[in-house]
Structure 1
Amino acid sequence: MAMQCTRTIVCGLWMLLAAGPLAAQQGPTPPDGVVDMATVQVTGEQPGPGLWKVTAPQGHVMWILGIVSPLPAGVEWRPDEVERTIAGVDHVLGEPGFKVDPQVGLLKGLTLLPLARRTARDPQGRTLQQVLSAPTYARWLQLKQMYLGTDRSVEKERPLVASGRLYQAFLKRNGLRDGKQVDKALQRLYKVRGLQPEVLKVTLKIDDARATLKELQVTEVDDRACFERTLDTVEFQAPVLRERANAWALGDVAALRRLSGSTMAQTCREVLQDSAFVRRRGWSDLPEQVRQRWLQGVDRALQQHAATFATVPVSLLLGEGYLQALQQRGYVVEAPPE
């Protein structure tokens, strides 16, 4: 979900709401902060996890594929079980989340690109060295040299944006990539069956893109805690991320359950939820809005369709209680074999 400023006029908004570390679904930080760096990376064709089965009182069912990102770069997903399941459903639910709707055309969007890029900079024109504490900046310099080299432009960016760039470089260096291959495989399967996923993402309406970007440009966000949590992840968490990615590739549900926490993403999300920009727009409870929109979609699907297929991030299924919420609504939830 991390995006480049040259590809969208709402780059600044995405960077403050969803890019970089927010887009990741991390495992928990070990209590002592020390991990074994010798985790072996899974490669080749792998089945991925089994499917959760949700049954409504009238007998209608929904099959859920838990997804994760990042995944091992050398793994090719073999969706045999998913292909068989999709062949037997009559409805598909898109995954929970949110999207930005700026309502602008291509030409106007191009004119807004310079302004969008400026939203990634510190509102007061400060550098990272001026914003961060001396110990944190020293850690940053060491990790920046390791993953970003001598890039000086990142020094002028907000901590949240800079840490996002560091995190993406860290994933690439550690043989991890986003989960686009899974999405592409699913889209092919949907097309074969003539299925179009129902969009359940919450839409964040922006009536005036230029005014919004100008407001973002001067908006202060105390994102130092998010920055430090990202440094922790980059410095200590590579084996944990690889273990979680391997667990998904191998279908190890027990390991996924153990590694479903999201400490870095939670810290960064809380920082943004507390910002004046987000509060003014009523987005402070965005995670709950996303959750409720998805649950309402599930209710409709299980009422109207005999068999539904859905994809949900494992961090939401296991780490943020989406499965428990389904049980509380009276559905029977069966986990895949562990």
Structure 2
Amino acid sequence: MRKRTGRYALWLGLLALPASAQSVDPAAQPVQADAAVAPDAVPATVVVEGRRPGPGVWKVSKGGHVMWVFGTYAPLPLKMQWDASRVERLVAKSQEVLTPPVAKAHIGFFRGLTALPSLIGIKRNPDDAVLRDVVPSDVYARWTVLKAKYIGDDDGVEHYRPVFAGEELLLAGLKKSGLSYGGDVMDTIEDIAKKNKVKLSDSGYDVMLDDPRKLVRDFKNSQVDDLVCFTRTLDSLDVDLETMRVRANAWANGDIAQIRGMNFAERRDACLDAVLNSSIAKDAAALRQTRERLRLAWLRTAEKALADNASTFAVLEIQDILGPASYLSALQSRGYAVESPR
């Protein structure tokens, strides 16, 4: 999101896309390279356009206090305009808006500047290796087919680590599918809150990094076991893109029944784990525990807001509402009433 990127941990920011990308049910059959359709094939599902309402909101309540929870999704249709009128009414009558939980690193302005030069080349393989050198030949063969289909002749990506090469492939596929990652929905909610003078509150937590420059340097010089992430991206990319189109349409149209029926198994876990379980994270427990700490930080912030305010508006990624580790289920287990939109 354009308004908060400067507050993310420098190197964690580079992993933002893998942390957001979503995939199809893992039980789905992988798409093999020889089954790839022609580069100019029309997507099976046409993404929606025009003004769309998005999903309804969940209601969390206790003792006369209420929290309205809105679920975001990415990627969304490029040509969709979100109708925020319903959300605007709820935000306007609330005392506080909780933004989605993110891990932030406050390392100081000057320390951040000294770390910036070390970020150059972080996406590249150590020792200037290319993808052909670091992945099995059969995996590389699948990569060349999909690269030709979605990326084209750009050879610069051949020097990327598998986790980043896979991300470039996914982004190119999204563009051809009429989808895009972006912060337009969250930016609109923030603008509504500011216009109505409603307090905006972070719901995440601070990551303490003693030496971010060393962390980046170690990452650049070390091997990362990201083959699982890369292979999963290649095996299911076409299926994943179709699933994303279906999900994007369901979100745009506010089809809660269809959204609820979707499996939110995450490709992101394999990609994020490739980094968080790597050798550079051995001494950084805060990095390895990011996901659980984010969940606990949000729950703590949400309960405080519910106690302090008559009305609160909160924003979560929709998989954190409906997924197996649902934040709202956790609130329900603590005695709060939770009502889903129809």
Same fold judged by TM-score > 0.5? yes
Q: Are the counterparts in 2 of residues 53 and 61 from structure 1 also a CA contact under 8 Å?
A: yes
Distance 1:238 1:184, change over 3 A: same
State whether structure 2 residue 41 is matched by structure 1 residue 50: no
- Equivalents in 2 of 1:13, 1:75: separation in Å? 29
**Which residue number corresponds to residue 93 of structure 1?**
98
Seq. identity, %: 35
Deviates more, 1:254-263 or 1:81-90: 254-263
Q: Which one of 299, 305, 320 corresponds to residue 295 of structure 1?
A: 299
For each residue in 1:265-305, what CA deviation from the matched residue of structure 2 results, as whole angstroms up to 9, or x when unmatched?
12222323322222311122211000000000011011111
**Which residue number corresponds to residue 174 of structure 2?**
171
- Equivalents in 2 of 1:14, 1:233: separation in Å? 25
Q: Are the counterparts in 2 of residues 9 and 112 from structure 1 also a CA contact under 8 Å?
A: no
In structure 2, the gaps of 5 or more residues are 36-41
Deviates more, 1:172-181 or 1:264-273: 264-273
Letter in 2 for 1:321: S
Distance 1:247 1:202, change over 3 A: same
Alignment of 1:1-338 (within 5 A): 12-15=11-14, 18-29=15-26, 31-33=28-30, 37-56=43-62, 58-105=63-110, 109=113, 112-282=115-285, 283-319=287-323, 320-337=325-342
Deviation at 1:316, TM superposition (A): 1.1
- Equivalents in 2 of 1:206, 1:52: separation in Å? 35
* TM, length-normalised to structure 1: 0.89
The root-mean-square deviation of aligned C-alpha atoms, in Å, is: 2.4
- Equivalents in 1 of 2:195, 2:18: separation in Å? 34
For each residue in 1:208-266, what CA deviation from the matched residue of structure 2 results, as whole angstroms up to 9, or x when unmatched?
33222212212321001011122234232222101000000000111112225133112
Q: Are the counterparts in 2 of residues 13 and 216 from structure 1 also a CA contact under 8 Å?
A: no
Distance 1:8 1:336, change over 3 A: closer
Moved over 6 A (4+): 7-10
Distance 1:52 1:10, change over 3 A: closer
Distance 1:207 1:60, change over 3 A: same
Could you say what secondary structure the match of 2:232 adopts?
Answer: helix
Q: Are the counterparts in 2 of residues 13 and 213 from structure 1 also a CA contact under 8 Å?
A: no
Distance 1:146 1:10, change over 3 A: farther
Q: Are the counterparts in 2 of residues 20 and 167 from structure 1 also a CA contact under 8 Å?
A: no
Distance 1:99 1:269, change over 3 A: same
* TM, length-normalised to structure 2: 0.88
Could you say what secondary structure the match of 2:45 adopts?
Answer: coil
Deviation at 1:25, TM superposition (A): 3.3
Distance 1:233 1:324, change over 3 A: same
Distance 1:112 1:87, change over 3 A: closer
Deviates more, 1:175-184 or 1:111-120: 111-120
In structure 1, the gaps of 5 or more residues are none
